[in-house]
Amino acid sequence: MDTRPIGIFDSGLGGLTAVKALTQAAPWESFVYLGDTKNAPYGDRTREQIQALSRRNVRFLRGRGVKALLVACNTSTANAMDVMRAEAGDLPVVGVIEPAAAAAVSVTGSGRIGVLATAATVASGAYVQAVRRLARQATVTAVPCPRLVPLVESGRTDIADPELAEAVRTYCAPLLAAGVDTVVLGCTHYPIIRQVIRQALGADIALIDSGAASVGSLLKELEDRDALGDRSKDGRRQYICSGGAERFAALGSAFLGRDIRPDTVRAAL
Ligand code: DGL
């Protein structure tokens, strides 16, 4: 047993979709969540910038005495995994892309998989490589969606928001044209606007939540190391953001569907 917290990070609020899955699957686990809201979006940055920010996030969480790291950010996973593993030393580092690719491969019937992701994730080719490693015949249509994270971070997630609906329709059009039967929400912000994406894609296409997919891998890794927490107690929850703490608590509560107590949020970095 290991009751130290898990370190989780994202460029902002999107990684809370992984937190939601973690608290449902393993409510006993403690965690420290870092949202780098001041530097979001990561998806429009260069690989070098993403690596520098990701390395700093790992160093920061390592300094908080965590037992493992969940990189709840596709953009960091796609562009900085080696750098983060080097910084993490002996701590296990679990990313979102391999678990999401594995979930997509297990769900698809036609082998035609779509990915919606940030520009930097699509440019890295990480999803194409991860899917092809598991299913050589599969085809991947990956669409960069640069307008989505800024809309979500500004709290614009309503299905009735015409600008959001138009952006989502535009990004989904190439996936419909390619005839995909499965779409990976390859950015942890996108499950927050799942209904808008569902509306654009229709009812028959399977949607994969990359943050949720990664939680199974994380818990398996902890179990293999005999490092799960104390199941008889609720875990401790702590949130740290690099921008305004009040705003993080308010928007984050809406995204999580559960109150983030303002006294558990601290601005740092
Ligand atoms: N939520 C992140 C991801 O999964 C980062 C989005 C961004 O900051 O551009 O890619």
Share of the chain above pLDDT 90, in %: 94
* Residues contacting residue 214 through CB under 8 Å, at least 6 positions apart: 18, 70, 72, 94, 95, 96, 99, 100
**pLDDT tens digits, one per residue of 32-66:** 999 999 999 999 999 999 999 999 999 999 999 99
Do 35 and 15 form a contact (C-beta atoms < 8 A)? yes
**Any domain includes 184:** yes
Q: Is 45 in the pocket of ligand 1 (CB under 6 A)?
A: no
Share of the chain above pLDDT 70, in %: 100
Answer left, alpha or beta for residue 256, where phi above 0 means left and psi between -120 and 50 means alpha: alpha
Write out the catalytic residue numbers.
73, 187
Q: Is 186 in the pocket of ligand 1 (CB under 6 A)?
A: no
**Residues of the domain holding 36:** 6-95+212-267
**pLDDT tens digits, one per residue of 198-217:** 999 999 999 999 999 999 99
Q: Compute the distance from residue 150 Cα to the ligand 1 centre, in Å.
A: 10
Q: Do both 66 and 147 map to the same domain?
A: no
**pLDDT tens digits, one per residue of 225-241:** 999 999 999 999 999 99
Q: Do both 142 and 89 map to the same domain?
A: no
**Any domain includes 115:** yes
Q: Do both 74 and 124 map to the same domain?
A: no
Q: Do both 22 and 102 map to the same domain?
A: no
**Confidence category of residue 262, pLDDT binned at 50, 70, 90:** confident
Coil vs helix vs strand at 27: coil
CB-count exposure of residue 240 (10 Å: 0-12, 13-18, 19+): buried
Coil vs helix vs strand at 239: strand
Q: Do both 114 and 53 map to the same domain?
A: no
**Any domain includes 127:** yes
Q: Do both 53 and 126 map to the same domain?
A: no
Number of domains the chain is built from: 2
pLDDT of residue 110: 98
pLDDT of residue 259: 83
Q: Do both 62 and 123 map to the same domain?
A: no
Among 210, 230, 247, identify where a domain stops: 210
Q: What phi and psi, each to the nearest 5 degrees, are found at residue 266?
A: -135, 140
**Any domain includes 158:** yes
* CATH code, 27: 3.40.50.1860
Q: Do both 34 and 111 map to the same domain?
A: no
Mutation test residue for ligand 1: of 75, 77, 96, 251, the one with most atoms within 8 Å of CB: 75
Q: Do both 81 and 103 map to the same domain?
A: no
Q: Do both 168 and 185 map to the same domain?
A: yes
For residues 10-26, average pLDDT: 96
Residue ranges of alpha helices (H) inside the chain are 16-25, 47-62, 74-88, 97-107, 119-124, 126-134, 148-153, 162-178, 194-201, 210-224, 245-256
**Any domain includes 165:** yes
Among 175, 195, 210, identify where a domain stops: 210
Q: Do both 197 and 107 map to the same domain?
A: yes
Q: Is 14 in the pocket of ligand 1 (CB under 6 A)?
A: yes
**Any domain includes 71:** yes
Q: Is 75 in the pocket of ligand 1 (CB under 6 A)?
A: yes
Q: Do both 115 and 202 map to the same domain?
A: yes
Among 210, 236, 259, identify where a domain stops: 210
**Any domain includes 1:** no
**pLDDT tens digits, one per residue of 144-179:** 999 999 999 999 999 999 999 999 999 999 999 999
